[in-house]
Amino acid sequence: MFRRVMTLLVSSALLVGLAVGGLLLPVPYLVASPGLSLNTLGEDDEGERIIQVDGRKSYEHKGGLSMVTVQYVGGPGARVDLFTALSAWLSPRDAVLPEEAIFPPGQSMDDISEEQSLQMDDSQSKAIAAALTQLDIDYGVQPVVADVDPELPAHGKLKAGDVITEVDGAQVDGVKQTVGKVSDREPGDPVEMTVERKGAPKDVRIDTAESDDGTAVVGVMLRDDMDFPFEVDVSVGNVGGPSAGMMFALGIMDHLSSEGLTGGHAIAGTGTIEPDGKVGGVSGVEQKMVSAQREGAEYFFVASESCDLTFDSAATGEIEVVKIDKLDDAVDALADIRGGDTDDLPRCTQK
């Protein structure tokens, strides 16, 4: 009898030990939690303005236009244990994601960090462009060679960093116009380009090739570099990614406008931005809504593409959600909020 009891106790202890050990095993999942909130009209922890304008009169207004973030725990080399993943799965504020959702196979933490940093830089440039476009402030756009295909005619004639200033003797303004002018010929026909390389002009002649869709190409990847008439600096520390673009654009507009956009209200939001004002969807909306509500935001602006995500947040029903397709929509919504006319604000509808 005694031996049976001891066997049962030892077996139970082993099972408990195995269960506890299993809970502490690392698993290939990420935990997404509500992150920080930064008011683009305010200051960072060191007292520096989030957005600073140099070379043009700027203004400071009350209210908030806050970008919100998601905090991720886990990833290659720093995996969470099963207990942490299960706890997050049971939490209404958090989400559990497969590791590859953020860290594609073959990419290191440094690779992801660099990519996120580049996306943030690109988002800030697009936000400045979108804000200036909305305010009818002119700026220049320069098509710059980002990469050259070694198998196509531009190889050896154009280099990364070349600024294309003319095509066939006519000035070009941006990637879209440049691509249009090059493709406006039969494949095989030559194109004359003038580029600026290391500050000096250079003329090149390139015989075009035929692309998969039958148009003429030279084999370069281009990006738009914006030439703004004054400097706008956006400082958000180590935050990366493109999802704060809409809120950056609104914050920049507020700094450049004599009348504040918010009327003293606290607004938060998330969405990418394009220079033409188009607002794009992002991930992590559920956690970002919690961040916004926690920081006292009255309204949450979200890209229409992300509307479906707003119904699964722990903050659903606790904060007013406004859907945005383009920067115009956000400006109109802010005007309604300032005026107290919020009945007709565009809202997400559940399908």
CA-to-CA distance for 93 and 104, rounded, in angstroms? Answer: 25
pTM for the complete prediction?
A: 0.81
Domain ranges across the chain: 29-137+230-339, 140-227
Q: What is the pLDDT of residue 10?
A: 42
**Weakest-pLDDT range from 3-7, 63-67, 234-238:** 3-7
* pLDDT tens per residue, range 283-306: 999 999 999 999 999 999 999 999
Tokens of 346: 């565009």
Q: Domain 29-137+230-339 belongs to what topology? A: Ribosomal Protein S5; domain 2 (3.30.230)
pLDDT, greater one: 224 or 110: 224
**pLDDT bucket at 89, cuts 50 / 70 / 90:** confident
Q: Which of 61, 51, 37 is nearest to 131 (CA)?
A: 51
Mean pLDDT (the chain, rounded):
87
User: Would the pLDDT of 4 be above 70?
Assistant: no
**pLDDT bucket at 121, cuts 50 / 70 / 90:** confident
**Mean pLDDT, to the nearest integer, of 22-41?**
78
- Does residue 244 contact residue 46 with C-beta atoms inside 8 Å? no
Tell me the CATH number for domain 140-227: 2.30.42.10
Strand partners, 301: 269, 322
- Helices within the chain (DSSP H only): 2-23, 82-90, 109-134, 175-183, 245-256, 285-294, 327-339
Q: What is the pLDDT of residue 24?
A: 52
Number of CB atoms found within 10 A of residue 263's CB: 16
- φ and ψ at 44, to 5 degrees? -85, -175
**Weakest-pLDDT range from 101-115, 157-171, 337-351:** 101-115
Amino acid residing at 271: G
- Does residue 343 contact residue 319 with C-beta atoms inside 8 Å? no
Q: What is the pLDDT of residue 7?
A: 45
Q: What is the pLDDT of residue 85?
A: 76
* pLDDT tens per residue, range 228-286: 999 999 988 878 888 999 999 999 999 999 999 999 999 999 999 999 999 999 999 99
Q: Strand 299-303 and strand 320-324: pairing?
A: parallel
